[in-house]
Amino acid sequence: MTDNVVSGNNFLRTIVTEDIASGRLSGELVTRFPPEPNGFLHIGHAKSICLNFGLAEQFGGRCHLRFDDTNPAKEEQAYIDAIQEDIRWLGFEWSGPIRYASDYFDTLFEYAVHLIRNGNAYVCDLSADEAREYRGTLTEPGKNSPYRERSVEENLALFSDMKEGVFDEGHCVLRAKIDMAAPNINLRDPIIYRIRKVSHHQTADKWCIYPTYDFTHGQSDALEGITHSICTLEFEDHRPLYEWFIANLPVPAQPKQYEFARLNVNYTVTSKRKLKMLVDEKVVDGWDDPRMPTIAGMRRRGFTPASLKRFCEMVGVARSEGVVDVAMLEHAIRDDLDKNAPRAMCVMEPLKIVITNYPSEKVEWLTAPGHPNRDDLAERSLPFSREVFIERDDFREEANKKFKRLVLGKKVRLRNAYVLLAESVVKDADGNVVEVHCTYDDASHGADPADGVKPKGVIHWVSASHGKRATVRLYDRLFSHESPDRGGEEFLDHVNPDSLRVLEGCWIEPSLADALPEASFQFERTGYFVADRVEHRSDAPVFNRSIALRDTWNGGQ
């Protein structure tokens, strides 16, 4: 991966800089982000967004949002809405109105007529199977369709009949007349219009013929005055066709296509089709499930726009395919949250501590820093009382010296509070510890214990009489296989069975209940968490784990 990355100055920035220097780009740089509204955007789209909007920003140009909506059967308004929300959340704004390729259907129809008039397109009645046979292979040239020499008049009449709904779906298509022997199969008389008797989310029932992606994309670019049409490498072989259309149509501008390598991330699936399967098969709870690599999912997971942009910048722009380690994404998230998320305490698997020498009615409000090195983040007030919760894991009746938490007969410090000494335990009928009775040292808040014996460890806690109950969802990677995206449907077999653990009975420090949805915190000692943007309420708090404190993958705890 690193070989292809020109950090700070990726090859597209270089191309634009050179185009300005040579005068090819005399006006504004105009880019576009062209999603098909057939699913939610994913991490790969985030990269394309950062690239297109980022270039426009850097060079004082503009970036359009254009929905590439040539396949109405798979497209939906819900996706159109979600895509806009995602782009804005990332912090970008498109120039001018939202555009749709379907805005240009009238012009595209005229362009098709123009090609027919010039003898550059014809109506072909070959069936799909026949057309495949005629197309040839990578090593053998194709054969001309028997319909290739229809007259201009006949083609105009047939194309008009196609538009008027005279023929059934599949009866015929309109093809560009280029070269059936071209080594590049994309130039072997590609289809430019198909009959599809489906209603369209933008144009309703106006059309029963739809232009193909290849016939639509470049012309839409030209109509919008796009100067640099940036797409992924799989379109490299389509570039000659893109250029052929531009050269043979009366388009108002001459856009140029540039390709870069799509972003692939290990342990991650980045194909809308496969992501849709995860949703449809209910492997996840929707497109915005916090385990999904969708922008909406990552947002709900507590990833931040700044960290996603940082990640996209870090991976750079390559010209050949590579796979980026998901640990790099996780690093970007962790780094951002470490710097910016206020600290807080949450006990996930509670064990009750009774401080026998602390008066039962007494409550103290102790102060704790909002962040270890951010003075601008407000200090917090922590209620302290006779009964507190600690993690069940943080107590043992007996332990060796490596265990630096609470042990019977030993001391531990409660974070931002006092030192406790464990005196005795209360057990249930099955012998499980249900309470630990401790004494506290009144002089030990912010100071060494009076007897000079320092505790070895510091643990987090929440006052049992003031804490709030919360649901905490622990998310982990959705796939346990490094390359779930390889191959076909079997990616579903690689779903990590432990990608979600829900803990209902957690205790949080009281102020956390009032956290706004989407506020992020570091729960001390346990990780980074976000108040769920959909379900969190002050009377029923819900927090999602964004990322662990350290990389605990492969049990490396």
Q: Which residues sit in the known binding site?
A: 36-38, 42-48, 68, 213, 232, 262-263
User: Could you tell me the CA-to-CA distances from 536 to 34, 198, 472 in Å, in that order?
Assistant: 34, 41, 10
State the catalytic residues: 36, 262, 272
Binding-site residues from annotation for L-glutamine:
68, 213
Q: Using the rule CB under 6 A, is 231 a contact of ligand ATP?
A: yes
The Cα–Cα gap between 166 and 159 comes to 10
Q: Using the rule CB under 6 A, is 297 a contact of ligand ATP?
A: no
Binding-site residues from annotation for ATP:
36-38, 42-48, 232, 262-263
Among 209, 263, 308, 312, binds ligand ATP (CB under 6 A): 263
Scanning residues 115 to 134, which ones bind ligand ATP (CB under 6 A)? none
Q: Answer for the pair 126, 134: CB distance below 8 angstroms, yes or no.
A: yes
Task: Return all residues near 168 (Cβ < 8 A) that are at least 6 apart.
Answer: 195, 197
Residue carrying the six token digits 């199977």 = 129
The Cα–Cα gap between 125 and 122 comes to 10
Q: Which is nearer to ligand ATP, 262 or 466 (CB)?
A: 262
Scanning residues 34 to 63, which ones bind ligand ATP (CB under 6 A)? 34-36, 44-45, 47-48
In whole angstroms, how close is the CB of 80 to ligand ATP at the nearest point? 12
Q: Using the rule CB under 6 A, is 262 a contact of ligand ATP?
A: yes
**DSSP code of residue 168:** P
In whole angstroms, how close is the CB of 484 to ligand ATP at the nearest point? 14
In whole angstroms, how close is the CB of 327 to ligand ATP at the nearest point? 18
Among 99, 272, 291, 334, binds ligand ATP (CB under 6 A): 272
Q: Using the rule CB under 6 A, is 232 a contact of ligand ATP?
A: yes
In whole angstroms, how close is the CB of 68 to ligand ATP at the nearest point? 6
Task: Return all residues near 274 (Cβ < 8 A) that are at least 6 apart.
Answer: 485, 491
Among candidate residues 290, 302, 349, 365, the one with its CA nearest the CA of residue 515: 302
Q: Which is nearer to ligand ATP, 203 or 232 (CB)?
A: 232
Q: Using the rule CB under 6 A, is 84 a contact of ligand ATP?
A: no
Q: Which is nearer to ligand ATP, 45 or 334 (CB)?
A: 45
In whole angstroms, how close is the CB of 271 to ligand ATP at the nearest point? 5
Q: Which is nearer to ligand ATP, 66 or 545 (CB)?
A: 66
Q: Which is nearer to ligand ATP, 48 or 522 (CB)?
A: 48
- Rounded to an integer, what is the distance from CA 307 to the centroid of its chain? 12
Q: Which is nearer to ligand ATP, 50 or 519 (CB)?
A: 50
- Rounded to an integer, what is the distance from CA 432 to the centroid of its chain? 43
DSSP letters, 119-131, are: T-EEEE---HHHH
In whole angstroms, how close is the CB of 34 to ligand ATP at the nearest point? 5
Tell me, letter by letter, the H, E, C secondary structure of 307-358. HHHHHHHHHCCCCCCCCECHHHHHHHHHHHHHHHCCEECEECCEEEEEECCC
Q: Using the rule CB under 6 A, is 270 a contact of ligand ATP?
A: yes
Consecutive H or E run containing 411: strand 411-414
DSSP letters, 9-42, are: S-HHHHHHHHHHHHTS--S--EEEE---SSS--B
Residue carrying the six token digits 């974070």 = 415
Among 95, 271, 340, 480, binds ligand ATP (CB under 6 A): 271
User: What is the contact surface with ligand ATP in residues (CB under 6 A)?
Assistant: 34-36, 44-45, 47-48, 68, 231-232, 262-263, 270-272
